[in-house]
Amino acid sequence: MEISKHEPGMFSWADLAAADGEGAKQFYTRLLGLEAVDVPMGGGHSYVMLTKNGKKVCALYEMTEDVRQKMGGHPTWCAYFTVESADASAARVEELGGSVMQQPFDMMDSGRMAVAQDPTGAAFFMWEPRAHIGAEVFGEPGALAWTELYTPDTGAAAKFYEGLFGWSADRKPNDYFEFAIDGRSAAGMLEIKEEWGYVPPNWSIYLTVADLDKALESAAGMGAAEVMPPMEIEHVGRFVVIKDPQGTYVGLIQMAVNPS
C-alpha cells in the first residue's frame, strides 16, 4: 500500500543503526529485494535509503563513534512516530514522566525530530515531517509492517503513550495489547517475561516478506539466525524474529491473504 501522509501518532519510519553499514546494506537489499540509495551526510558518512520501485521503505546507516557510545555500541532498529510538533511532543514526554534523550533538531528540509525514552526505559523517535513523510509504502513485501513495544510495565507504558499520542490500549488474548487511534491500529505491546532472560525495554519492528520460509532460508544463508520458531496468528499472518548477521533483532512477517 502506497502512503502519501502519516497521521500524528502513527508508526511511520524505521532505520537501522548498523555496526557495518555496507554489510547491513547487502543483507537487507538481498533479503527484501530492495534498492539502496546513498544520501551523503557529511564526514564521509551516508544515510542509506532502502527503496522499492522508487518509493522509500526504510533506511540504515553506519554508527559513528558518538552514536555507538550513546547506544551502548549495539546495532538496533529504531522506530519513528509522526507528530505534529517535535517540540511540543518533547515537552509532553517530560510532563508524562518520560525523558528526552535528544532535544528536537532539524534534519535539513526533511523534517524535525526528537529522541525520547518512555518511563519504562524504551527509546523511540518522534518525527515532524516536512519534505520526508516517512515510509512511502507499507505492509507489502519488502516494506515495514508493524512495531511493538516490549516493556516490564504495560500499565505505565499504556498510560504514557495514551497521554503522548492519544492511543487507547486494547488487551488481546495471551496478554497482547494493541494500541489504536480512532479505531486504527497503531502499534502493539507485550510485557517482558522473566523466563525470557534479560530483554531490555525496546520498540521492535517487523518487515513484510512474500514467503516466510524462503526469506528464512535466504537470511540463514547470509548468516542470520532464528530467535524463535515461526508462529501464526489467524487473519494476521505468519511471523518470526531473527537476529541478523550483526546481531540486530528484527521481525519478519508474511501477511495473511484476506479472502476476496
* pLDDT band per the 50, 70, 90 thresholds, residue 71: low
pLDDT in tens, 102-130: 999 999 899 999 999 999 999 999 999 99
Residue whose grid cell is 487511534:
181
pLDDT in tens, 127-164: 999 999 999 999 999 999 999 999 999 999 999 999 99
What is the SS3 assignment for 90? helix
Give the pLDDT confidence score for residue 45 in this predicted structure: 82
What number of residues does the chain have?
A: 260
**Residues with Cβ within 8 Å of residue 211, at least 6 apart in sequence:** 254
Give the pLDDT confidence score for residue 43 in this predicted structure: 74
Give the side-chain half-sphere CA count within 13 A for 25. Answer: 15
- Answer yes or no: are the C-beta atoms of 63 and 75 closer than 8 Å: yes
Give the pLDDT confidence score for residue 62 in this predicted structure: 94
Instruction: Give the 3-state secondary structure of 117-181.
Output: ECCCCCEEEEEEECCCCCCCEECCCCCEEEEEEEECCHHHHHHHHHHHHCCEEEECHHHCEEEEE
Q: Give CA–CA dist 177/168, Å, rounded.
A: 10
Q: Give CA–CA dist 139/146, Å, rounded.
A: 8
Give the pLDDT confidence score for residue 260 in this predicted structure: 39
Q: Give CA–CA dist 36/31, Å, rounded.
A: 13
- Largest distance between two CA atoms of the chain: 51
Q: Give CA–CA dist 77/162, Å, rounded.
A: 23
Residue 167 one-letter amino acid? W
Q: Which domains does the chain have, with CATH numbers?
A: 1-260 (3.10.180.10)
